[in-house]
Amino acid sequence: MPDNVGVMDRFVDRLPETAFFKFVAARILVPFWAWWTPVKPLPGGPHPSFQHGDNVQCMMNLIMPLKDKSPVGRAHAAMAIAQHKDAIFAGLNNVGTVHFARFVIVGDNICMFSVYDGDFTNYIRDFIATIGEVFDAVVGLVEGGEEITPCEKNVEAFIQWVHEHDLYQVPDTPTDFLRDQERLNGDKAVAPVNDDLTLLPRKMVLQLRANANVSLGSGYRAYPGYSVAQVRKQLGLGW
Amino acid sequence: MVDPSTAKRLVQVIHDNLPTPVPGRRPVHTIGIGVKGKFIASDVARTYCIAEHFDGAPVEVSIRFSNGLGGLEQHDGWSDVRGMAVRFHLKDGTASDLIATTLGEFFVRNVDDFFKFSEIAKREPFKRRHWLLKILDFLQLKIPQRNPYPGETQSIDEGALRYANQHRFSQLGIFQVGLIGAPESYARASYHAVHTFWVTAPDGVRRPVRFYWQPVAGVNNTDPKAELRDKYLFDELKERLKRWPARFMLMMTIGEEGDALDDCTKPWPGTRLRIAMGTLTLTGIPEGAEQAEAGERISFNPCRLAPGIEASNDPILEARLGAYEVSREMRGGCPFKWSADNA
C-alpha cells in the first residue's frame, strides 16, 4: 500500500463487508434507489433468436408459488407429480423435443426445469396437448392457477402465464445484461452514448430486487448445437 | 491489408503510451517466458480442418506466456491480461501461429477505433480515491475505483472507462480487463484467440471458427486480497513442469449465420458447436541462450497460418499482420519464413 494510506482509508475499504453497511444497504440504500430509479422486471425465458444454435437446448425454469405454503401443501404438490408420473413421461416422449425435464419443490414453490428444442410457445402448446391434465392438476395447487385451468380451454392465457413464471435468464456477459435493460426501457442507443458503467452494480441489485429469482447465464451444454432428434438418431435409440 | 505507415503508427502509439521506453523489446507483453511443448490433434480435428498440425501426428510447439503490460517492470500479481502465443512447427520448416490472451473479447473493432481509444485512454497519474468519495460511491451502490498497486503511479483505467462509456462495443472488453485478475499459474488460465478464422475441411467445406485454450489443470486466480507478489509466474511454471507436464485443450467454436465474423468485440453465444481439436503438453522451459531465443527473439504473427486456416476480414486481425512485423523489425526479432519457398 502507498505510504499515505490513513486510518479512514483502511476503514472505508473494509466498510462494504461490515454488518452495519450491509444493514444500511439492505434497509435504506436499496429501497431508496428502487424508489428513486424504478426498475422493471426483465421478462423470462430465452432471448428471441433466429439462429439454429440458440433454438436448441433452450431452458425453461418455471417457478410456481404454492397456494398452501405448509408441509401439507408441499406434500400435495409432490403427490400430484407422483400420481401423474406415467402421463408426464409419455407426454414428454410425445412432445419429442425435450432433452431433460424435472419437477422440484423449492421452499413454497413447485418448479419445473426443462431443456427443450424449438419455439417456446409451441413447446407449451405441445405440452397442453399431451399432458394438459397434469398441468391442470399441478396448476390447481398454485397461486393464480384457477384462472388458467383447464389449460386446453385457455391456451393463450396459459402460455402467457407460463412465460410470466419462467425465470429471467441473466445473459453470460454483464454488458448483455445492460443491453436487456436498455431494450426494456426503449433506449435506442442514439450516438453519442453517454453511459455510466460504474452503475452496473446498482442496476444488477435493483433488477434482482424486482426479479428475485433468475437463471444465471446460458448454462453449460456438453453437446451444444444438437437437438433431441439428432442425439437420439446418432445414438441409435430408435426415434 | 493495412498500409505500412498505418502499421508503424499503430506500434508508435503503443510505444508512446509506455511509462518508460523499452528499446529492443516488445512494447506490450514485454515480460514473457518461452516454453517447449508438443501438440497432438484429436481424432475428429482432421475432419474439420486440413491444416497439417490437425492431422494427428505429434507436432513440436513453441509457446510464449506473457504479462500484458508494456514495460520492463514485472508485476505478476497485478490484475492484467496474460498472453499465450503458440507456434506449431510444420514439417517443411514453416509454421502456424495461434496468439491468444486471457481476454475473451477485444475492445476496439478497427484501426480508427484503436487510434481514438489511444487518444482517450492515455496514461494518467493514478491516485487512491479519497475515502469520502468512496463513501459517496457506496451510497450510490457503485463500486469505487480500485486502489493503486504499490508503486503504481500511472494508469489508463480512467481513460479506458471514459472511452467505454461513449462506445458500447468496447464495454465488454473493458469490463473484462477490469475484472481479469492474476492467474495462480500461466497453466491455470483460459486463453482466447478472439478473432474469427476460416478452416477448410477435407470435403472442401469452409467454416468460421474461433479458437481457445482451456487448461486441463483448471482455471484459478490468486486471491486479490492476499499480499501481492511481483515475481512468481516463471518460477511456478518451472516447478510445475519439473513435477508433471501441464496440458491445455485446444477448443474450436463453430460460428453460425448471423454471428459476428469480422468483429472481435462481439462474443459468440455459448450455444455454438464446440470441437476439441487437440491437446498441447508443455514439456520444458529452455534455459540461458535458448530461453533468450524462445522467450524474446521469437516473433509470432496471428496471420502466419498453415494451409487450411485463413484469416477472416476482421480489421484488427488485418492490422496485427503488419503491426507485428513492424514491431519485430523495431526490436530485432527473429524473422521467419512465411512459406516453404520464401526463406
pLDDT in tens, B181-205: 999 999 999 999 999 999 999 999 9
Contacts of A188 in chain B (CB under 8 A): none
Q: pLDDT band for position A5 (50/70/90)?
A: confident
Chain B residues near residue A12 by CB distance under 8 angstroms: 131, 134-135, 138
Answer yes or no: is pLDDT of B6 > 70: yes
Interface test with chain B among A1, A5, A10, A12, by most B beta carbons within 10 Å: A12
The reported pLDDT for the residue numbered B1 is 63
Q: Which residues in B lie closer than 8 A to residue A201 (C-beta atoms)?
A: 141-143
Q: Give CA A217 to chain center in angstroms.
A: 10
Cell 496468439 belongs to which residue? B99
Candidates A198, A205, A223, partner chain B, best to mutate (most B CBs within 10 A)? A198
- Asked whether B199 and B48 are in contact (CB, 8 A), the reply is yes
Whole-angstrom CA distances from B286 to A149, B31, B158, B237 are 72, 16, 39, 12
**Closest chain B residue to the Cα of A193, Cα to Cα:** B166
Q: pLDDT band for position B22 (50/70/90)?
A: confident
At A1 the pLDDT is 44
Q: How far A70 CA lies from chain B's nearest CA (Å)? A: 37
Q: Is the dihedral of CA B250, B256, B260, B265 positive or negative?
A: negative
Phi, psi (degrees; rounded to nearest 5) at A185: -90, 5
- Is A8 in contact with B148 (Cβ distance < 8 A)? no
Q: Is residue B2 over pLDDT 90?
A: no
**pLDDT at site B242:** 95
Strand partners, B95: B89
Average pLDDT over residues B234-249: 96
Q: Please judge whether B267 and A173 are an interchain contact, meaning their C-beta atoms are less than 8 angstroms apart.
A: yes
Spell out the long-range contacts of A143-149 with Cβ–Cβ below 8 A and sequence spacing 24 or more: A143/A64, A143/A65, A143/A66, A143/A67, A145/A64, A145/A67
Beta-strand relationship, A214-216 and A168-170 = parallel
Tell me which chain A residues have a C-beta less than 8 angstroms from the C-beta of B113. none
Inter-chain residue contact B175 with A174, CB threshold 8 Å: yes
pLDDT band (50, 70, 90) for residue A185 = confident
More confident residue, A134 or B160: B160
Q: Do B128 and A2 touch (CB under 8 A)?
A: yes
Chain A residues with CB under 8 Å of B267 CB are 172-173
- How close does chain A come to B209, measured CA to CA in Å? 14
B270 CB neighbours in chain A (<8 A) are: 172, 217-221, 224
Which residues in chain A belong to E strands, given as ranges? 58-65, 98-106, 109-116, 168-170, 214-216
pLDDT at B341: 63
- Within 8 A by CB and 6+ apart from A109, the residues are A63, A64, A65, A66
pLDDT tier, B4 (very low <50, low <70, confident <90, very high otherwise): confident
Chain B residues within 8 Å of chain A (Cβ atoms):
128, 131, 134-135, 137-143, 147-148, 150, 161, 164-168, 171-172, 174-175, 254, 256-259, 267, 269-274
How large is the average pLDDT for residues B257-278?
95
In terms of Cβ atoms closer than 10 Å to its own Cβ (0-12, 13-18, 19+), residue A96 is middle
Say whether B141 and A12 touch across the interface (CB within 8 A).
no
* Per-residue pLDDT tens over the stretch A50-61: 888 889 999 999
Segment A166-175 shows an average pLDDT of: 94
Whole-number CA gyration radius for chain A: 22
Query: Would you call A218 and B147 a contact, using CB atoms and an 8 Å cutoff?
Result: no
* pLDDT score recorded for residue A191: 65
- Average pLDDT for chain A: 91
- The b-or-e profile of B201-214 (16+ CB within 10 A means b, else e) is eeeeeebbbbbbbb
Please name the member of A53, A178, A198 whose beta carbon is closest to the beta carbon of B273: A53
pLDDT tens figures, B104-136: 999 999 999 999 999 999 999 999 999 999 999
CB of A148 closer than 8 Å to CB of A161: yes
- Between these two residues, A147 and B170, which has the higher pLDDT value? B170
Model confidence, pTM: 0.92
Contact between chains at A53 and B257 (C-beta distance less than 8 A): no
Nine-digit cell at A14?
Answer: 473494509
Per-residue confidence at A49, pLDDT binned at 50, 70, 90? confident
Q: Which of A33, A179, A221 sits opposite B271 (nearest CB)?
A: A221
Q: How far is A139 from chain B (nearest CA, A)?
A: 31
Quote the minimal CA–CA distance from B168 to chain A in Å.
8
Sign of CA dihedral A120, A123, A129, A132: negative
Q: Which residues on chain A are in Cβ contact (under 8 Å) with B266? A: none
A127 or A215, higher pLDDT: A215
Q: What is the pLDDT of residue B342?
A: 57
- What's the distance, Cα to Cα, between the start and end of chain A in Å? 65
The pLDDT of B227-256, averaged and rounded, is 96
Q: Which residues share a beta bridge with B39?
A: B59, B280
> Which residue, B274, B205, B271, is CA-closest to A227?
B271
Contact call for B257 and A51, based on CB within 8 A: yes
What's the confidence (pLDDT) of residue B343?
A: 43
Mean of pLDDT values over A84-100: 91
Q: Which residues of B touch A193 (CB under 8 A)?
A: 165-168
Yes or no, beta carbons of B148 and A195 under 8 Å apart? no
Residue A188 has pLDDT above 90, yes or no: no
In this complex, the residue of B139, B165, B272 whose CB is nearest that of residue A53 is B272
Residue B257 reports pLDDT greater than 50: yes
Q: Which residues of B touch A2 (CB under 8 A)?
A: 128, 148, 150
Q: Which residues in chain B touch residue A205, judged by CB atoms under 8 angstroms apart? A: 141
Of B138, B171, B172, the CB nearest to A16: B138
Say if the Cβ atoms of B172 and A53 lie within 8 Å.
no
Contact B171 A175 (CB under 8 A): yes
Longest dimension (CA), chain B: 66
Residue B131 and residue A6: Cβ atoms within 8 Å? yes
Average pLDDT over residues B201-216: 98
Q: Is the model's pLDDT at A214 over the cut of 70?
A: yes
Minimal Cβ distance to B271: which of A5, A54, A195: A54
Q: Which domains are present in chain A?
A: 1-36 (no CATH), 52-167 (3.30.70.100)
pLDDT of residue B217 exceeding 70: yes
